[in-house]
Amino acid sequence: MTRQIVLDTETTGLNAKLGDRVIEIGCLELLNRRPTGNHFHHYLNPGRASEEGAVKVHGISDEFLLDKPKFREIANGFIEYIRGAELIIHNAPFDVEFLEQELALAKLPPLAQHCAGVRDTLKLAKELHPGKKNSLDALCERYGVNNAHRTLHGALLDAELLAEVYLAMTRGQESLVMELEQAPAAAPADAGAAPERGTLVVLAASAEEVAAHLELLQAIQAESKGRCVWLAPEVRTGN
């Protein structure tokens, strides 16, 4: 059974190295490419203010986050949720860098020790649609995914949209091997004799048809100067 986790984060800014932190994690589970309804979603208190530009993108105020848990408080639940699964992330290096930082600050092992790998849907989209816009909104439009309710970025909403986009982008990969048709059951050993086959009727040529055929072959024999292979040897040699 293939287990995948579609994941998105929102952050206080764009640069983890400068101290920006995760403020929202949204995940949903796919089992054999089917959403299960098993979500993991938390808003987080980053312990610092969000940049003005970031707030314009996600709309999450600093005041709203004041009573939310710290990442370290939900870290074990997050690790258990993603354990052994492949992570599906759009522009994965961005989210992965922030998650690695949060795990390190919580004194926990890196992401690679908890999940089975990461698939970057932005990289996949660029391979499928080179030279085109491959933002999540652009992909929603391209694959007919309704994102009219996405006025602001939100981790869980974006994960839900990304799941639909990912399944649409990879629909041809669902199965590379066609299921074999079920073989018919063998007849029981005591089922009796094999069913009768139809009788083959052989119609013999008439004397006139034989004579006409021989005449044709002799004409070919004469035209080919004795090389008609359909005549019996004694007829070809005249013996």
Indicate if 90 belongs to the active site. no
> One-letter amino acid identity for 203?
L
Contact at 8 Å (CB) between 42 and 74? yes
Q: Please compute, for residue 202, the number of CA atoms within 13 A of its CA located in the half-sphere on the CB side.
A: 1
What does the block give as tokens for 112? 């690679």
> Given 42, 58, 114, 153, which residue is catalytic?
153
Contact at 8 Å (CB) between 159 and 121? no
| Residues taking part in catalysis | 153
